[in-house]
């Protein structure tokens, strides 16, 4: 499984760092939605779904967390620890987020608006879905 992690270019000077993200330049899709998670409780694991067509980039803009990626045959755990790194998560990929530090803010850039019908929330259904592809 190929893990695509983008390293964004911070504009740093004596004042600090600034990261700018533009669609089709830094992000390979139209950014139709942004959401973020914070105040994630200790030991919480979330996600547990795949998407039929949604593409996303996950950026832990503060603190740290880990992402489990599972394409149905292979699993990989990717740590997100820097505000300038973005993990690309394609469709047909089961994902779980865990090991959130208490100060973690996980921001997600998404290629589509929220659509519950794009979710596959059952793991066996996911395996069936990727097998049929
Ligand atoms: P949920 O899918 O449970 O999050 P996770 O996959 O991280 O476990 O989403 C939590 C709630 O937020 C749920 O009621 C749906 C809602 N939600 C939106 O309204 N819009 C969104 O873009 C997202 C991602 C979730």
46-73: per-residue pLDDT in tens? 999 999 999 999 999 999 999 999 999 9
Q: What total of structural domains would you count in the chain?
A: 1
Catalytic residue numbers? Answer: 49
From atom 6 of ligand 1, which residue's Cα is the shortest distance away? 47
- Using a 6 Å CB cutoff, which residues line ligand 1? 33, 35, 46-47, 49, 114
pTM over 0.85: yes
What is the 3-state secondary structure of 66-104? Answer: EEEEECCCCEEEEEECCCCEEEEECCCCEEEEECCCCCC
- Give the CATH number of the domain where residue 87 resides: 2.60.120.10
């Amino acid at each position: 499984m190929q893990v695509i992690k983008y390293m964004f270019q911070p504009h740093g000077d004596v004042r600090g760092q600034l990261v700018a993200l533009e669609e089709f330049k830094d992000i390979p899709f139209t950014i139709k939605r942004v959401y973020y998670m914070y105040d994630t409780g200790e030991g919480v694991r979330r996600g547990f779904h795949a998407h039929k067509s949604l593409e996303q980039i996950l950026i832990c803009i503060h603190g740290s967390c880990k992402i489990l990626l599972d394409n149905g045959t292979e699993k990989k755990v990717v740590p997100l620890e820097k505000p300038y790194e973005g993990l690309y998560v394609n469709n047909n990929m089961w994902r779980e987020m865990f090991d959130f530090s208490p100060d973690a803010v996980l921001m997600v850039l998404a290629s589509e608006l929220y659509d519950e019908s794009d979710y596959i929330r059952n793991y066996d259904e996911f395996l069936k879905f990727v097998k049929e592809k």
